[in-house]
Structure 1
């Protein structure tokens, strides 16, 4: 992971919402995304883990303001699984997206089981069938696959992702052709600019 400067503690970050749809065109939920105070993407996935964790905490802190009755998907790091960081009381409507860099050590797996038992739903983000992701798969309610990874790894990735009963979400669905292909490939849910760009909340 490339190192990145810390987000500024002096300014309040903003949150963008990108819709997630089922194949019938019904809204399933929103992914909530960290944005700079100016409302632009911050490249959080390139930050070092402590800063990623603070970005996740900043999004969760604003959940009451930006979330509706739909499911809210929020990226989390290992610290939310093993260090007891406070999560908002949105069990049943909050989907915790475990980022792809989280190792599947005993503490992380125990954290997945604990949070799921508390009513939080679990998603695996950017699934490429890494050893860690395969170890976490039995506790996943959702598995998200970047369309670019699917083109590299093949459609068998979709069946592997659903092998423990998770719903499979196509991410970065960027055009109508990909919408049609993801439907043929057997995805349950779709997310991407072709279906609705991420829009930033007002300050």
Structure 2
């Protein structure tokens, strides 16, 4: 079973909610009789059993519903302020369906129309919809102006899906779209060199990472670098204090020895990403944290377990180009990372590439590609789901510790 989430942003690039994607995978990489009813039941059941806080925190869940599932009471297990019901584009509309939608709305649920391609004025579910989703691959912005205008005039919330570039995001925002879904937020907008502030931040952390990559790293040198930056020193002491319980940490050097070199490298990387991400959507930081944990977990459960530390750093630095708005080879310049990481992030090859491919497929909901890579890695797909949920939880807890 696969369950993944894709963020949905408002026009300030704050997360409004997550669309939840589901697939029960099998060796044939086909649905093999799994109906949309069973798929939705899997998502709703998973949410109910795991708890919303495990998957969507305090945000809203967008879940696909077909006609069969809409007619059942299972959806009412989830609170109306947490669930947005996405009605699939291929549902057959009849009087019973309309009455059911009216009842759900009376209970407080919001209704979204998925992949809207109908004539706005003719489609019978438009009057009951709170949110209308336009798939910009199926219906490009230049073709939907009249429908967008009518939706806005009717006070509908309109959502642009499959937004893959910042240019498309800005154009959709100018047209009046309220919500946005796609991977544009995790791609660099390369318009020149990054700001001096972020470049300086990268150099500062690069000094630490370079020291850590020496054959015999010096705790004293690491402490001296950190002590030159009161903000970095504070963050590191805060992290160590949260882990040391009642032990009192009297110095930066003592804090470093308490953590150990491998853990220092992990946290220096996380603190670097946090600082570089300060001018970017918070979800980019969340994505980096999820990937670092997810990649490490995948490696532990495969024949790549000896590379789990490198896999963790691979996930963490996988969005560095987007944070710095630079090509990846420039973003990683002067940072001493193992060749196994740079081979993947810069040259798209190497021993850790299957982990990167699997994570990307999972995030995009490409379950066929994810299944194939699981087979290649000899990875149990049930374990993969558990690893993903744990990575989501860990990322959320880590962000709270760093706030």
TM-score (norm 2): 0.42
CA distance 1:180–1:74, change in 2 (3 Å): same
Larger fraction in strand: 1
In structure 2, the CA distance between the partners of 1:153 and 1:105, relative to structure 1 (3 Å rule), is: farther
> What corresponds to 1:97 in structure 2?
86
CA 1:125–1:172 in 2, change beyond 3 Å: closer, same or farther? Answer: same
Q: Equivalent residues in 2 for 1:99-138 (5 A)?
A: 99-130=88-119, 134-138=123-127
Please tell me whether residue 183 in structure 1 is matched to residue 173 in structure 2.
Answer: yes
Cα root mean square deviation, aligned: 2.7
The structure richer in helix per residue is: 2
2-structure distance, mates of 1:156, 1:121: 24
Superposition deviation, residue 163 in structure 1: 4.3
2:5 is aligned with 1:17? yes
Preserved contact between residue 16 and residue 35 of structure 1 (Cα < 8 Å): no
Counterparts of 1:68 and 1:98, CA distance in 2: 23
Aligned residue-pair number? 184
Cα deviation for residue 183 of structure 1 reads: 1.2
Deviation per CA, 1:116-146, whole angstroms, max 9, x where unpaired?
A: 1112111000011258972111111111000
Q: 8 Å contact 2:120–2:126 — kept in the other structure?
A: no
Q: How does 1:1-203 map to 2 (within 5 A)?
A: 13-36=1-24, 51-63=35-47, 64=51, 65-82=54-71, 84-87=72-75, 88-130=77-119, 134-151=123-140, 153-195=143-185, 199=363, 201-202=388-389
Change (3 A) 1:133 1:57: farther
- Whether the 8 Å contact between 1:173 and 1:194 is mirrored in structure 2 is yes
Dislocated runs of 4+, deviation >4 Å: 130-133
Residue 9 of structure 1 corresponds to which residue in structure 2? none
Q: State the 1:104 CA deviation.
A: 1.8
- Counterpart contact for 1:124–1:133, Cα < 8 Å: no
Cα distance in 1 for partners of 2:21, 2:179 equals: 18
* Unaligned segments of structure 2, at least 5 residues: 187-359, 364-384, 391-403
User: Within 1, Cα distance between the matches of 2:129 and 2:87?
Assistant: 9
Structure of higher RCO (CA pairs closer than 8 Å, 6+ residues apart):
1
CA contact (8 A) 2:120 2:150 kept: no
Bigger Rg, which one? 2
